[in-house]
Amino acid sequence: MTQTTKRQIRVLKNGINVDGKYIRCHYSAGGYVDGTGITVYAKCILDRLPVELMPKNDSDGREDYFETASAIIREDNELYNDFLKYC
């Protein structure tokens, strides 16, 4: 039997802190067509957003196409208000 522990995610002005590891990010309001949600972008292609944010990264190393990870935070996410403060 394995125990799952919830990681501590703290939203800061210029990034997020995940269990003591700082990840530089920037935020943009209006992640969806209807204008809701907040998009979180990692500032470096080497940084990985935590899986709790359900990040998306469509990089393709074979085609030399690289992009930074991004995640869209919806209003039902418990961290939504924390991200909203810095948008």
pLDDT on residue 25:
94
Looking at residue 46, what is its pLDDT?
A: 84
- pLDDT of the residue at 34: 76
Mean pLDDT, residues 65-78 = 89
Q: Looking at the whole model, is its pTM more than 0.85?
A: no
Residues 27 and 83 sit within 8 Å (Cβ to Cβ): yes
Length of the chain: 87
**Over the stretch 11-69, which tens digit does the pLDDT of each residue have?**
999 999 999 999 999 999 986 767 788 999 999 888 889 999 989 888 887 777 888 89
Would you place residue 4 in the very low, low, confident or very high pLDDT band (cuts 50, 70, 90)?
low
Q: Average the pLDDT over each of 3-7, 47-51, 68-72 and give the range with the smallest value.
A: 3-7
